[in-house]
Structure formats: C-alpha cells, structure tokens
Amino acid sequence: MLIDVVTIFPEYLAPARLSLLGKAADAGIVRLRVHDLRDWTSDRHRTVDDTPYGGGAGMVMRPEPWGRALDDLLAPAGPEARPGTAALVIPTASGELFAQDTAARLAQADHLVFACGRYEGIDARVAAHYRDRVGLAVAELSIGDYVLAGGEAAALVIIEAITRLLPGVLGNAESLAEESHVKPGLLEYPVYTKPPSWRGLDVPEVLTSGHHGRIAEWRRAQAAERTRRMRPDLAGGGFAAPPGTVEG
Ligand code: 6GU
C-alpha cells in the first residue's frame, strides 16, 4: 500500500516512521510519503489560506494548491502510474465517524492520499471535485466528537488503525480477531501476565486453572460486563444513550 500525506506540517508525521508502521515500511508492505502542501503554491509567500466567503471566524484553505497536489499524487503519468484502487481521505471534525469497519474497508485500497487541513478546513469544492468529477472514493472522516487543530493527528490515528490490518504487519493474526471492536459492540476482556501476585492483587484463579472452556466463558462474561460499564451505548444492541448524554 502506498500512503501519501499532504500537510503544511510534514514533521508532524514523524511518529509514523516508528514502531509498527516503521516495520511495515521496512518489510515493504507500506510505503509512506509525506509532502508539504506549500510545494504546490505559486506565490512568493506560499499562501495556502484565505478568508471565508460568507464571513465568519478563521481562515479556509484555498482549493488551488490542493488541486495541484492531489492531481500530481493521484494520477501520476508514465512509470509512476498506479493501477488499482485509490482513495482520498480528508480528516475533518465534520466528517463521518471513523471506526473499525472504516479501517477494514480502507485497508483494501492500494493507494491512500491524506489531505490534512488546518484552520477552519479545506474549501468544500476539493472533496466535491474528486468525488463527483474524478469519481474517486473520498472519505471525510472524524476520529471523535471533539475538535483538533488540524487533520495531522487524526491522520496518524487512521493510518495506524489501517496499516496494522495489512497482511504481514502484525506478528499474530489471531490478535486481530480477538480485540475490541472487531466483535461488533463488545470490548476486550481484561488481560494479565506474570507475576501471579502483584502488590496484593492476584490474577483471577480461572486463568491459571488450565480449563479452556471455563476461561473462554469467564472472558465472555468479563467482556460483556466491561462493555456495559465503559460503553453502555454499545451494550445490549446499541439502543442505550451514548456516554455523556444527559437524560431528562
Ligand atoms: Cl479528523 N480533524 C479535526 N480538526 N478535528 C477533529 C477530527 C479531525 N476528528 C475529531 N476532531
């Protein structure tokens, strides 16, 4: 998978070179390229933003640098041409909520281009152009109900969630199936390792019993209890109010 990230803060993506994604890159499973949006500006000041039409606070990213950058990255000519499926990901607080199923879907693409906006966001014609005129899959994604200063931190989150799903990236394929949010609506059970007693807290007896049936049943019950306690909105078929909801 080729991942291109366009941002006005290329250094922000440095952590993506570490750990899991770093290993995936070394193994040739992922290629990550980070680009400075200002390389596609044409004025002396390398301007990327302007005041919003209709008024209001803050600045909006102008469409022209984005159009030039995305054209270059999405439709390279000659030997750099890429067959296969590409998608444009635009992290934005006003996007669709990013979740495990979104990660699994995006993990099927062979080319992802992330357009990281700053300020009040990117001129809306950019998403419209690539979705409606170019016919590209365009995903405007939010990573949660809070406001970040830009799309870079969200892009890091989304890239990590996607790349760990690629074949060969995780050492243990089983850990993919077991974890929270893969079994829809169920959080992961609590886990323990050595020592058997730590500061007076003992590992639950069932886990050292060697009885695989009882262990599986205990884990199922713990996962259900934890889900009810931590995420009542997920438990019981998803009809409960989400966390933070004030009832009455
Ligand atoms: Cl993707 N971007 C910004 N700026 N804020 C967010 C977000 C994204 N997801 C949640 N808040």
**CA of 247 relative to ligand 1 center, distance in Å:** 26
- Identify any residues that bridge with 86 across adjacent strands, giving them in sequence order: 111
Cα distance between residue 77 and residue 33, in whole Å:
18
Q: Is 157 in the pocket of ligand 1 (CB under 6 A)?
A: no
Q: What is the pLDDT of residue 174?
A: 63
**CA of 144 relative to ligand 1 center, distance in Å:** 7
**What are the DSSP E strand ranges found in the chain?**
2-7, 31-36, 49-50, 60-61, 86-97, 111-115, 137-142, 197-198, 201-202
**What are the DSSP E strand ranges found in 8-76?**
31-36, 49-50, 60-61
Q: Is 143 in the pocket of ligand 1 (CB under 6 A)?
A: yes
Cα distance between residue 89 and residue 120, in whole Å:
17
Cα distance between residue 134 and residue 98, in whole Å:
23
Q: What is the pLDDT of residue 12?
A: 96
Tokens of 129: 């152009």
Cα distance between residue 226 and residue 188, in whole Å:
8
Q: What is the pLDDT of residue 179?
A: 76
What angle do helix axes 19-26 and 152-163 make, rounded to 10 degrees?
Answer: 60
Cα distance between residue 19 and residue 229, in whole Å:
32
Q: What is the pLDDT of residue 86?
A: 97
Q: Is 117 in the pocket of ligand 1 (CB under 6 A)?
A: no
- Write down the residue that tokens 């390389």 correspond to: 39
Q: What is the pLDDT of residue 93?
A: 96
Cα distance between residue 144 and residue 114, in whole Å:
17
Q: Is 150 in the pocket of ligand 1 (CB under 6 A)?
A: yes
**What number does the ligand 1 atom closest to the CA of 91 have?**
1
Q: Atom 6 of ligand 1 has which residue's CA nearest to it?
A: 93
**What number does the ligand 1 atom closest to the CA of 144 have?**
10
Q: Is 116 in the pocket of ligand 1 (CB under 6 A)?
A: no
Sign of torsion, CA 65 66 71 76?
positive
**CA of 12 relative to ligand 1 center, distance in Å:** 15
Phi and psi at 10, nearest 5°, equal: -55, -30
Q: What is the pLDDT of residue 248?
A: 44
Q: ∠ CA 20-145-49 to the nearest 5 degrees?
A: 85
Q: What is the pLDDT of residue 111?
A: 97
**CA of 192 relative to ligand 1 center, distance in Å:** 34
Q: Is 142 in the pocket of ligand 1 (CB under 6 A)?
A: yes
Q: What is the pLDDT of residue 23?
A: 83
Burial of residue 61 (number of CB atoms within 10 Å: 0-12, 13-18, 19+): buried
Q: What is the pLDDT of residue 61?
A: 98
Q: pLDDT 10s digit of each residue in the chain, 248 long?
A: 999 999 999 999 999 888 778 889 889 999 999 999 999 999 999 999 999 999 999 999 999 999 999 999 998 766 776 778 999 999 999 999 999 999 999 999 999 999 999 889 999 999 999 999 999 999 999 999 999 999 999 999 999 999 999 999 887 666 676 777 766 789 999 999 999 999 999 999 999 999 999 999 999 999 999 999 999 999 765 455 666 666 44
**What number does the ligand 1 atom closest to the CA of 121 have?**
4
**CA of 218 relative to ligand 1 center, distance in Å:** 37
